[in-house]
Amino acid sequence: MFGLLLSKVMDVSPIQRQSIISLVSTVGLTAFGLLSTMYFSHTVGPAPLGAYFLFLAYFGIFTLIGDAGFGTAAVKRISEGTDQNAFFTALIALKVGLFLVTAVALVVVYHFGADLFSPDLTLWLLVALFVGALYTAVNSGTAGSGKVGISQITNLINNVSKIVMQIIAVFLGFGAGGLIGGFVAGMAVGMFVNLRYLDLRLVRFNRKHISSLSTFSFWIFLSSGGILVFNYADTVLIGYFMTEADVGIYRVAFQLTSLATFVSLALHSSLFPRVSNWSAHNEISLIESALSRAFTYSLLLALPVCVGGWLLGERLLYFLYGAPFAAGASALVILLAVQVAFVFTDLQTMSLNAMDRPRDSFRVTAVAVVVNIALNLLLIPVIGLIGAALATFVTMLLNAVLARRVLSNVMCVKLETGSVRNILVATGAMAGVTGLFGLFFPLMHIASVMTAVVLGAAVYAIVLMRLDRTIHDELQGIAVKMGVPWPSCL
C-alpha cells in the first residue's frame, strides 16, 4: 500500500512532488496544532499559553544568535553541489561554537536582568538552544543535499512529536512547563530521524569554507533579525505593556490565520534549492515562471481564508478556543490581511536569498524593521492588540512592496492576472453565499459555523474550477497521477 502511494507520488514532477509533500505535511500539522491549541486553551487558559508563547519568542531571539544565518547559508552552498561534506562539517563546527556564545549571553542576561527570566526558564532555554542547534544543522544538511522531501517529513515528525508530548504533559497537569518540555522533546525526535537519511559526512574543512559561508550568512543573519522582529516583537511588547493572558489571546488569533499560508510555506521550502540552482546556471526565465505560479497558488488559499475569516473569525475564536479568546477578534481581522501580504514578502525575499542576493534582502527588511518597532512601541500602549496587529500589517506590506522593487531589478516579477482575477471572483462568490447563510441561519452554534465554512469552501472551489481551466487542469492532473478521485462537480 505504502509502496503504491510512493510510486504515484514519484510520478509527479519534482517541484510539484516536493510542494505536495510540504503542503500535505503543513496542512496535517496545522490541523493537529489547531486541535491541540484548542485543547490547551480550554484546559490551561490564556495566561499559561501566553507564558509558552513568550518562551518561544525568547527562544527565537537567542536562536538568531546561535544560528547567525549559517543554516540558510549552508543550504545554499551545499545545494550548489561543490564540497558538500566540507560545508556541512564547517556548519557543525560553527553551530557548536555559536551555541557556547549564546549560552554565555543567556547567563549574562539572566544575572543582569533576573526579572526577565526565572531560573527554570533559563535552564529550559539552554536545553532548547542546544537541541535546536543540532537539529537545525542536520536539517540544513538534508535540505541542502536535495532531500527537501525528507527534510519536510522530519520537520513534520518533529512537530507531531512535540504536540503529542505537550498534550500528555498538559493532561498530567504540567501547564506551561509541559508545553515547553514537549517543544524540546519534539526537536530531539526530529533530529534523530533526520540523521537516518543524512548522506553527508564529517570531513576536513578549511578557511575558505568558513569564509564562503560567512559571506552569505552575514546578510542572512541581518535579514533574519528583521524576520524575527515580525515574528516576536509584538509578542514581547504585548507581554511587556500588557499581560501574559493578552499574549495568549493574540498569538492564538495569529495561529488561526496561519491557515492562509499553507501553500506559500510549502512552495518556499521546495523552491529555494531550485531557484538557487537555476540562479547558479543563469536560468532566470525559469525563476520568473516559477515565482509567478507560486504567487497564484499561494493566493489560491490566502485570499479566501482571509475573506472567510473576516466573516466568521469571531465565531470561530469563541467556539473553538473559548469565550476569553473572542477578545482577539478585532486583531484577527487585521492579522488575516497580514498573511496575504506575507505571501509576497516570503516568496520574494526567498528568491533574493536563493539568487545569492542576501544583502538586498536585508536592506529591504531593515527599513521595515525600524518601522515595525516604532509602530509597536507607539500603538500597543494606546490600542493594545489592535495596535500590534496594525504594526505588523503596515510593515509586512511595506516589506512586500520594497522586496518587489529590488527583485524587479534582476528579473521580471509579475502576477498571472487572469488567474488572480478568477480567484478574486470565486472569493467574492464564497463571501456572498456565506454572508447570506449567516443572515438566514444565525451562527449561534458550532454546527452552524462549521456548515458555513464548508459551504463557503465548496462554492469557492466550484466557481474557481469553472472559471480557470488552467488551474483546474493542473490540479486534476496531479490528482490523477496520485490516484486521488477528482470530484465530478469540479
Full domain range(s) for residue 287: 2-415
In a domain, 343, yes or no: yes
Q: What distance in Å separates the CA atoms of residue 483 and residue 479, rounded to the nearest whole number? A: 6
Q: Tell me what pLDDT residue 196 has.
A: 81
Answer whether 309's CB lies under 8 Å from 449's CB: no
> Is the pLDDT reported for residue 481 higher than 80?
no
DSSP assignment of 221-271: HHHHHHHHIIIIIHHHHHHHHS-HHHHHHHHHHHHHHGGGGHHHHHHHHHH
Q: What distance in Å separates the CA atoms of residue 322 and residue 46, rounded to the nearest whole number? A: 10
Q: What is the mean pLDDT of residues 315-334?
A: 94
Q: What is the mean pLDDT of residues 200-223?
A: 78
C-alpha to C-alpha distances, 484 to 80, 263, 267, 386, 479, nearest whole angstrom = 35, 19, 21, 42, 5
The C-alpha cell 538586498 sits at 360
Q: Mapping DSSP to helix (H, G, I), strand (E, B) and coil, where does residue 442 land?
A: coil
Q: Tell me what pLDDT residue 116 has.
A: 61
Answer whether 339's CB lies under 8 Å from 306's CB: yes
Please write the tens of the pLDDT for every residue from 213-247.
Answer: 877 777 667 766 777 777 788 998 998 899 989 99
Structural domain total, the chain: 1
C-alpha to C-alpha distances, 464 to 18, 263, 417, 459, nearest whole angstrom = 24, 17, 14, 8
> Is the pLDDT reported for residue 10 higher than 60?
no
Among 345, 341, 351, 343, which Cα is nearest to 289's?
351
Among 95, 82, 359, 90, which Cα is nearest to 213's?
90
Among 486, 478, 483, which Cα is nearest to 12's?
478
> Is the pLDDT reported for residue 27 higher than 80?
no
Report which of residues 465 and 272 the model is more confident about: 465
Q: How many CA atoms lie within 13 A of 100 on its CB side?
A: 5
Q: What distance in Å separates the CA atoms of residue 309 and residue 10, rounded to the nearest whole number? A: 35
In a domain, 436, yes or no: no
The percent of the chain in helix, strand and coil, each rounded to the nearest 5, is 85, 0, 15
Q: Is 197 exposed, middle or buried (0-12, 13-18, 19+ CB in 10 A)?
A: middle
Please write the tens of the pLDDT for every residue from 134-153.
Answer: 888 888 878 777 676 677 67
Q: What is the mean pLDDT of residues 179-201?
A: 87
> Is the pLDDT reported for residue 451 higher than 70?
yes
Helix (H) or strand (E) holding 183: helix 175-196
Q: What distance in Å separates the CA atoms of residue 35 and residue 407, rounded to the nearest whole number? A: 38
> Is the pLDDT reported for residue 79 higher than 80?
no
Amino acid sitting at position 194:
N
Q: Tell me what pLDDT residue 12 has.
A: 47
Q: Tell me what pLDDT residue 238 has.
A: 93
Q: What is the mean pLDDT of residues 436-464?
A: 92
Tally of residues, the chain: 490
Q: Tell me what pLDDT residue 115 has.
A: 57
In a domain, 49, yes or no: yes
Q: Tell me what pLDDT residue 330 has.
A: 95
C-alpha to C-alpha distances, 113 to 110, 119, 122, nearest whole angstrom = 5, 12, 11
Q: Tell me what pLDDT residue 480 has.
A: 64
DSSP assignment of 352-412: HHHTT-HHHHHHHHHHHHHHHHHHHHHHHHHHHHHHHHHHHHHHHHHHHHHHHHHHTTTS-
Q: What is the mean pLDDT of residues 270-290?
A: 85
Q: What is the mean pLDDT of residues 52-57?
A: 91
The phi and psi torsions of 443 (rounded to 5 degrees) equal -85, 70
Q: Mapping DSSP to helix (H, G, I), strand (E, B) and coil, where does residue 278 land?
A: helix
C-alpha to C-alpha distances, 164 to 178, 194, 399, nearest whole angstrom = 11, 19, 36
User: Among the listed ranges 1-15, 225-239, 284-298, which one has the minimum average pLDDT value?
Assistant: 1-15
Q: Tell me what pLDDT residue 23 has.
A: 61
Model confidence at 489, in pLDDT bands (50, 70, 90)?
low
Model confidence at 13, in pLDDT bands (50, 70, 90)?
low
Mean per-residue pLDDT of the chain: 84
Please write the tens of the pLDDT for every residue from 344-403.
Answer: 999 998 898 888 887 888 888 888 888 999 999 999 999 999 999 999 999 999 999 999
Q: Tell me what pLDDT residue 194 has.
A: 81
Phi-psi region of 173 (alpha: psi -120 to 50; beta: other; left: phi over 0): left
Report which of residues 452 and 475 the model is more confident about: 452
Locate all alpha helices (DSSP H) within 322-357, ordered by sequence: 329-354
Grid cell in block for residue 94: 560553527
Answer whether 189's CB lies under 8 Å from 158's CB: yes
Q: Tell me what pLDDT residue 2 has.
A: 34
In a domain, 120, yes or no: yes
Model confidence at 9, in pLDDT bands (50, 70, 90)?
very low
Among 87, 205, 79, 180, which Cα is nearest to 126's?
180
In a domain, 273, yes or no: yes
Q: What distance in Å separates the CA atoms of residue 165 and residue 182, rounded to the nearest whole number? A: 5
